[in-house]
Amino acid sequence: MSKKDKEFSKFKINRRGVLKAIVAGSAAVTSTVNTVAKPSSQVTPDYGKGMYAVITGSGSALPDPQRGNASQAIVVDGTILQFDCGRRTMDNLMQAGINPLHVDYIFFTHLHFDHIATYDYYVITSWIAGRQKPYKVFGPEGTSSMSDGAINHMHRMDSDFVKELVKTWPKEGTSTRPVPEAPVVVKDVGPGTIVETEDFKVTAVNTPHVKLFQLKSLGYRVDSKYGSVVISGDTAPSSALVKLAEGADLLIHECVVPDFGMTHTGKFSLRRGMQRLEDDTDKPRTGHTSPSELGRLAQKAGVKKVVATHLPPYTSVQAAVDFSSLYYGESPGPQIWGEFVSAIKKHYDGPVILAEDAMVLKLG
**Residue 268's pLDDT band (boundaries 50, 70, 90)?**
confident
Rounded mean pLDDT of 263-286? 62
Q: In what order do the strands lie in the sheet with 192-196?
A: 192-196, 200-206, 218-224, 227-231, 250-254, 306-309, 352-354
pLDDT score of 215? 79
Rounded Cα–Cα distance for residues 24 and 249 (Å): 28
Is the pLDDT assigned to residue 95 strictly greater than 70? yes
Quick check: 29 pLDDT over 80? no
CA 138 to chain centre: 15
Average pLDDT over residues 294-308: 97
Minimum mean pLDDT among 138-152, 201-215, 345-359: which range? 201-215
CA distances from 332 to 255, 264, 316, 328, 343 (A): 16, 8, 11, 9, 16
| Residue 121 clears pLDDT 80, i.e. is over it | yes
| Higher pLDDT among residues 36 and 335, named by residue | 335
Closest CA to 7 of 33, 36, 34: 36
Q: Report, as an integer, the average pLDDT of 216-243.
A: 95
Q: How confident is the model at residue 272 (pLDDT cuts 50, 70, 90)?
A: low
β-pair type (79-83, 105-107)? parallel
pLDDT of residue 65: 97
Q: Give the lowest-confidence range in 3-12, 75-84, 252-261, 296-305.
A: 3-12
pLDDT at 22 over 60: no
pTM: 0.88
Query: Does the structure show a pLDDT above 70 at 153?
Result: yes
Scanning the chain, the segments in alpha helix (DSSP H) are 3-6, 15-24, 27-34, 89-95, 113-116, 119-128, 143-149, 156-167, 239-245, 291-301, 318-323, 325-328, 335-347
Q: How many CB atoms lie within 10 A of CB 319?
A: 12
Least Cα distance to 45 among 101, 93, 83 occurs for 93
Q: How many residues does the chain have?
A: 364
Instruction: Answer whether residue 8 shows pLDDT above 60.
Output: no
Domain coordinates in residue numbering, the chain: 7-87+190-363
pLDDT at position 36 over 50: no
- Residue 5 pLDDT class (50, 70, 90 cuts): very low
Cβ neighbours of residue 157 closer than 8 Å, sequence gap 6 or more = none
Maximum average pLDDT range among 25-29, 87-91, 257-261: 87-91
- Rounded to whole angstroms, the Cα distance separating 246 from 8 reads 18
pLDDT higher than threshold 70 for residue 32: no
| pLDDT confidence of residue 271 | 67
The whole-number pLDDT of residue 229 equals: 98
Q: What is the pLDDT of residues 198-221, one digit of tens each?
A: 999 999 999 988 765 567 899 999
Q: Measuring CA to CA, which residue among 123, 178, 181 is closest to residue 147?
A: 123
What pLDDT does residue 212 have? 59
CB burial class (10 A; 0-12, 13-18, 19+) of residue 188? middle
Amino acid 209 reads H
Across the range 291-295, mean pLDDT stands at 94
Q: Would you say 336 and 263 are in contact if contact means Cβ atoms under 8 Å apart?
A: yes
3-class secondary-structure state, position 23: helix
> Region 344-355: what's the mean pLDDT?
97
CATH number of 7-87+190-363: 3.60.15.10
Give the chain's mean pLDDT. Answer: 86
Sign of the torsion formed by the C-alpha atoms of 184, 54, 95 and 314: positive
The pLDDT of residue 180 is above 70: yes
At residue 331, the 3 state secondary structure works out as: coil
Query: Rounded to an integer, what distance in angstroms lies between the CA atom of residue 317 and that of residue 312?
Result: 12
Q: Which residues pair with 187 in a beta bridge?
A: 138
Backbone angles phi, psi at 217, to 5 degrees: -140, 140
Judge whether 99 and 57 are in contact, CB under 8 Å.
no
pLDDT at 208: 84
The mean-pLDDT minimum among 31-35, 200-204, 233-237 falls in 31-35
Q: Inform me whether the pLDDT recorded for 190 exceeds 90.
A: yes
Alpha-carbon radius of gyration of the chain: 20
